[in-house]
Amino acid sequence: MENFQFCISTKVLFGKGQIENLPQVASEYGQSVLLVYGGGSIKRIGVYDSIKSLLAGCEVVELSGIAPNPRIESVREGVKLCREHGVDWILAVGGGSVIDCAKVIAAAACTDMDAWQMIVNHAAITEALPICAIPTLAATGSETDAGAVISNTAINEKRSFFSPLIMPKVAIMDPTYTFTVPASQTAAGSADILSHLLEQYFVPQSTFMGDLLVEGVMKTIIHYTPIALAEPDNYEARAQLLWGSAIADNATLCNGNRICPFGVHGMEHELSAYYDITHGVGLAILTPRWMRHVLSDATVERFAHFAQAVWGVAPSDDKYAMAHQGIDATERFFKSIGIPMTLTELGINNEHFAEMARHAVETEGLLYAYVPLTEEDVVAIFNDCI
Ligand code: NZQ
Ligand code: ZN
């Protein structure tokens, strides 16, 4: 078991009606709040009205229209609003894009640096505004983690920023807010959750307990996603997906594993940077192709173990056969929940693969992934996705 440091400092308020605690959050963090949200889903589901009424005594400054794959321009606009209004804290309500945008605003508002420079230079910030996150989609787990991903479409880049200081102070997680998530986003969200688990499971060294925890959450997501798709307002299914998304990506499950850069995420960030596709869809397309590409004598035991533990593949002396059955089952699952499983279906061809591969290897640490990925490997995997 590897050494680790672990501190999830987010106070989680989970379940129906937890929004009633919002005035308490305001009394703790201040009367001037920046409300950050996306294209309007929070108005349709009623949470916007609840917030306005619960924060009636506060100055609520609004930043709306945060796009999926949030843009650096929105971050800069948010920083400007924080400075103009002397904002005390940020309330982020929406999917991972909204929460990520709020996190980088919170950090950049407390420095003199330009927000994009802060991200690409991995600046060690010393301060950030407090954040309360209200996720409305089960996917990224951004509400209890220390990361954020921002796009700069002018230069086709999508980059991550990490600091424990941007971890939300409070997360209000009400599964009923996710009832309206469309089927395509529900499926993409589950693919993202599974990918976070896979990226921490396929590592050079894992622990007995970590494996069981990750396998348990993977099986939970695989079990409940079709239920949430068939019955969008099934509370139990939505609740399991929402809590699963939070614990899948905040290190809770894999402490003691030898974690390495997330290889499939590194490749996907290029796809969404160039083509603005949904993150979870890109991950679902890449995952089985990546698995087949890295399957070798060195990894076959691990893939066979995965096949048996997660997909119930029968044990056999033919580890390659077991591994392939597990990979095929993974691909079939993504297809069964309605995800388009080729890049061609998204209108993507091989035009930019070489430059995307070069950039992914340079900026995402792919040479240090579970199986090191060179530019040639990445191009080959992209080509397999056509
Ligand atoms: O904009 P609105 O109107 O809110 O609509 C959103 C958006 O169109 C909609 N939506 C959200 N909640 C809804 C809803 N529609 C109906 N009812 C609801 N309750 O869903 C669409 C997608 O939202 P988005 O926030 O983009 O989705 P997601 O949560 O999957 O976030 C994806 C972003 O997070 C990044 C991704 O790269 C991508 O930019 N990631 C963040 C991570 C992190 N911070 O830890 C880790 C991930 O690996 C990931 O990279
Ligand atoms: Zn992800």
**Average pLDDT over the chain, rounded to whole?**
97
| Nearest ligand 1 atom to alpha carbon 178 | 19
CA 244 to centroid of ligand 2, rounded, Å:
13
What was the pLDDT predicted at 350? 97
Using one digit for the tens of pLDDT, what is the confidence trace for 189-216?
999 999 999 999 999 999 999 999 999 9
Where do the DSSP E strands lie in 8-152?
11-14, 32-37, 59-63, 89-94, 131-135, 147-152
What's residue 254's pLDDT? Answer: 94
How far is the centre of ligand 2, averaged over its atoms, from the C-alpha of 279 (Å)? 7
> Could you tell me if 101 and 119 are in contact, meaning their C-beta atoms sit under 8 angstroms apart?
no
What is residue 66's predicted lDDT score, i.e. its pLDDT? 98
Q: How far apart are CA 253 and CA 174, in angstroms?
A: 22
- Please indicate whether residue 250, judged by its CB atom, sits closer than 6 Å to ligand 1: no
Residues 6+ apart with CB under 8 A from 159: 119, 120, 149, 150, 152, 269, 363
Task: Give me the pLDDT at residue 383, please.
Answer: 98
- What does the pLDDT average to over 263-286? 97
End-to-end CA distance of the chain: 39
- Identify the band that residue 75 occupies on the pLDDT scale cut at 50, 70 and 90: very high
**What's the CA-to-centroid distance between 321 and ligand 1, angstroms?**
36
What pLDDT sits at residue 167? 98
For residue 185, give the ligand 1 atom closest to its CA: 20
Pocket test for ligand 1, best of 149, 166, 275 (most atoms within 8 A of CB): 149
Mean pLDDT of 287-299: 98
175 lines ligand 1 (CB under 6 A): no
Question: What is the structure's pLDDT at 220?
Answer: 98
The model's pLDDT over 342-369, given as tens digits with 9 standing for 90+, comes to: 999 999 999 999 999 999 999 999 999 9
Question: Which of 151, 192, 264 should be mutated for ligand 1, with most atoms under 8 A from CB?
Answer: 192
Residue nearest ligand 1's atom 15 by CA: 181
Sequence-distant (≥ 6) Cβ neighbours of residue 108 within 8 angstroms: 75, 76, 79, 114, 115, 118
Q: pLDDT tens across 320-329, in order? A: 999 999 999 9
pLDDT at 348: 98
Q: Quote the pLDDT of residue 22.
A: 98
Q: How many Cβ atoms are within 10 Å of 186's Cβ, its own excluded?
A: 25
Phi and psi torsions of 152, nearest 5°? -120, 95
What is the Cα–Cα distance from 131 to 168, expressed in whole angstroms? 5
Q: Which ligand is nearest to the CA of 99?
A: 1
- Residue 165 gets which letter from DSSP? G
Question: Given this model, what pLDDT does residue 288 score?
Answer: 98
Give the closest residue (by CA) to ligand 1 atom 13.
Answer: 181
